Each structure stands twice: as C-alpha cells, then as structure tokens.
Amino acid sequence: MTADDEAARDALAPGADAELLTDAGIDLEVAAAAAPDREIAVEVGDSIVEVKNLTVKFGGLLALDNVSFDIKRGEILGLIGPNGAGKTTCFNAMTGVYKPTSGDVLLEGKSIKGQKQHRITRLGLARTFQNIRLFGEMSALENVVVGLDARHRTSVPGALIRSPRHIREEKSAIERGMALLEFVGIADLANTASRQLPYGYQRRLEIARALATDPKVLCLDEPAAGFNPAEKEDLMDLIRTIRADGYTVLLIEHDMRLVMGVTDRIVVLEFGRKLADDVPTAIRNDPRVIAAYLGEPEDDVA
Ligand SMILES: Nc1ncnc2c1ncn2[C@@H]1O[C@H](COP(=O)(O)OP(=O)(O)O)[C@@H](O)[C@H]1O
Ligand SMILES: [Mg+2]
C-alpha cells in the first residue's frame, strides 16, 4: 500500500483493511485524488448548520421572515416552495451573498453571519447558483481547478518561481480536478471550454467546482432547472452518490415531486416564512403545502 493509498484509506475508513475497500469496488487512487482530507467517519445526525430567525429585507419587502431550521450532518435536506418564496434569498443570506437583516447562521456551532462569500466557502459551505456561473472561456478542468484553489493556496513567491512545492500542488490539483470531473460524469470533456458544454454538463460542472472546495455542506440551487425528466432523474442519482460519499446536501428545488425521492427531510417556504419542516411523506400530505403549491390565497392555508 502506497502512502497515498494509506491516506485515502484513512479518509474513507480509518484503520480499515485496504483490501476490503478495494474488494468493495472503492478505487483508493481516485478516492485519494478526489478527497484527500475528507473526514467521513463522523457522527451522523448532529446539526452541522443552524439557521436561526433569519430575516432578509429588500426595502419594504420581507423576502425572508424569521426563518429557522437546521441541517443534520450527512442528510439531504430539501428546501422547497413556490417561486418567490425566498429559497434563493435564504441561500444568499447563508453563503454571504447578502447580509442578513437579522438572525444568525451557525456552521458547526460558530456564527458565519455577515462573513464574506469566499471565507464562508473556505469554512466549508459551498454552493451552486440558480443561474449558472462558470468561467465560459475556461475549460471544464480549469473551472474545477479554480475551485480547488480556494483551499489549496500556494504562496505568491512559490507561484512565481514555480517551486517544487508549487509544481507538486499543481499536479495534484489537476489530478483532483480530473477525479472530480470523473465523479460528476464529464471527464471526457475536461478540455472543452465550459460555454461549449451542453447545458446539463454545465450544471454538473458547477457541482464539481463546488465539490472542489472540499465542502462540509453542499448547497445546490435548483440544479435540475431546465432539465427533462430523464436528466432530472440522472441528477438526483448524482446527488444520492454525493451524499453516499459523506457530504451533507441542501437542495433547493421547485419541483416538489423531484425532491420527494431524494431528500431525507424537507423545509417548505412560502412568502418568506417557514411553512413546514418534516419528512417527505408528511410534507406530501400536508394540506398547507398542497395549498401553497396550488397557489391558493394565504388566508386559506394559514
Ligand atoms: N436582490 C433583490 N432585490 C430585491 N428583491 C429581491 C432580491 N432578491 C430576491 N428578491 C425578492 O425576494 C423574494 C424572494 O425571492 P427568491 O429568494 O429569489 O425566491 P425563490 O428562490 O424561492 O424563487 C421575491 O419577491 C424576489 O422578487
Ligand atoms: Mg430561486
């Protein structure tokens, strides 16, 4: 077993028999490249993110009104609601795009409220955007390597003189980037400019780029928007795989049927307020949620 294999083994399952992992179909080399520092041998079930009384006002509009929920380590939490309910605003307030008007967001017990976006990414809360934001002229691989940079920063002098350390880091960044592209299923197009990728691949690339920051929590804002049903199903499979790999996922989705099959728990927003917070079967049968989705007047569903 090489040192890299050993590191991969320790990240996946400390002390486990490497042969057993290999027999189980786990490619230690890919695991080492994709996730050298992941700790998945953590207790599942405690709160990793706590959103507390989060409020965002845009002038007179209360886009998010005193919303509280938590995300448990290892779960896929759905955040759903009709258009304009405040889902994206909630993401933006959590990930530093907007400063919350009031309330708090805790990551592993520490407040991240009001911190800058890149700092929050570095602390472990990564996200994708409802409107794809890639560097169009850069290749798929370059877009992912940019994500890796957020965590594996080389000092400027090192970068200028291309010290052995820098070259080693670059090599491993490319290897990690390729492993992530493979993971999301687009490695074949690593050298294609991202704007030339089919739309669905751009969405996958965004996910790979977010994963490159080695997040503790991955927040996806309508990753299946604009997909046909088959593409949606494929994407849900990818999200299941991501969770199986030890990540915690917060998934915004407008299509209620789609989240039912993939989430462990669902938070429903309507008019900026939390309407419900329960397991999918309970959400599906909640008359308030059904009414919200049918677009009934608020008076009838309160
Ligand atoms: N930057 C902004 N400035 C003003 N109003 C905004 C801004 N962002 C969102 N809103 C408003 O906040 C409400 C919630 O929007 P949003 O969070 O995008 O909803 P969702 O993602 O659930 O569809 C909407 O009424 C929207 O028009
Ligand atoms: Mg939105």
Per-residue pLDDT tens over the stretch 84-130 = 999 999 999 999 999 999 999 999 999 999 899 989 999 999 999 88
Distance 203 CA to ligand 1 centre (A): 22
Domain limits at 158? 131-213
CA 253, CA 259: separation in Å to the nearest integer? 7
CA 113, CA 110: separation in Å to the nearest integer? 9
Question: Using one digit for the tens of pLDDT, what is the confidence trace for 170-223?
Answer: 667 888 888 899 999 999 999 999 999 999 999 999 999 999 888 999 999 999
Q: Among 195, 213, 231, identify where a domain stops.
A: 213
pLDDT of 18 > 60? The answer is no
Going by CA atoms, what residue is nearest to atom 3 of ligand 1? 58
Measured CA distances, 18 to 3, 6, 25, 286 (Å): 12, 8, 11, 47
pLDDT at 151: 54
Q: Among 213, 245, 272, identify where a domain stops.
A: 213
Q: Is position 24 within any domain?
A: no
CA 249, CA 126: separation in Å to the nearest integer? 10
CA 219, CA 70: separation in Å to the nearest integer? 13
**186 and 245 share a domain?**
no
| Window from 173-177, 263-267, 293-297 with minimum mean pLDDT | 293-297
Q: Is position 21 within any domain?
A: no
Q: What whole-number percentage of the chain has pLDDT above 70? A: 75
Q: Is the CB of 63 under 6 A from ligand 1?
A: yes
CA 49, CA 46: separation in Å to the nearest integer? 9
**209 and 225 share a domain?**
no
pLDDT at 16: 45
| Average per-residue pLDDT for the chain | 81
**192 and 293 share a domain?**
no
Distance 115 CA to ligand 2 centre (A): 21
Q: Which of the listed residues 54, 55, 57, 61 should we mutate to test ligand 1's pocket, taking the one with most ligand atoms within 8 A of CB?
A: 61
- Ligand showing the shortest atom-to-Cα distance for residue 223: 2
Question: Using one digit for the tens of pLDDT, what is the confidence trace for 209-264?
Answer: 999 888 999 999 999 988 888 889 899 999 998 988 889 999 998 877 778 889 99
pLDDT at 132: 81
133: left (phi over 0), alpha (psi -120 to 50) or beta: beta
**156 and 288 share a domain?**
no
pLDDT at 187: 93
Q: Is the CB of 61 under 6 A from ligand 1?
A: yes
CATH number for the domain spanning 116: value is: 3.40.50.300
Q: Is position 269 within any domain?
A: yes
How many beta carbons lie within 10 A of that of residue 248, not counting itself?
24
pLDDT of 149 > 90? The answer is no
pLDDT at 130: 82
Distance 207 CA to ligand 1 centre (A): 23
**146 and 191 share a domain?**
yes
Residue whose tokens read 């009031």: 102
pLDDT at 123: 93
Per-residue pLDDT band for 14 (boundaries 50, 70, 90) equals very low
More confident residue, 26 or 102: 102
Q: Is position 85 within any domain?
A: yes
* Count of structural domains within the chain: 2
**157 and 177 share a domain?**
yes
**138 and 274 share a domain?**
no
Going by CA atoms, what residue is nearest to atom 4 of ligand 1? 58
**119 and 260 share a domain?**
yes
Q: Among 156, 187, 213, identify where a domain stops.
A: 213
Q: Are 79 and 289 in contact (CB under 8 A)?
A: no
Q: Is position 29 within any domain?
A: no
Q: Is position 12 within any domain?
A: no
Distance 56 CA to ligand 2 centre (A): 14
**115 and 148 share a domain?**
no
Distance 221 CA to ligand 2 centre (A): 7
**Whole-structure pTM over 0.95, yes or no?**
no
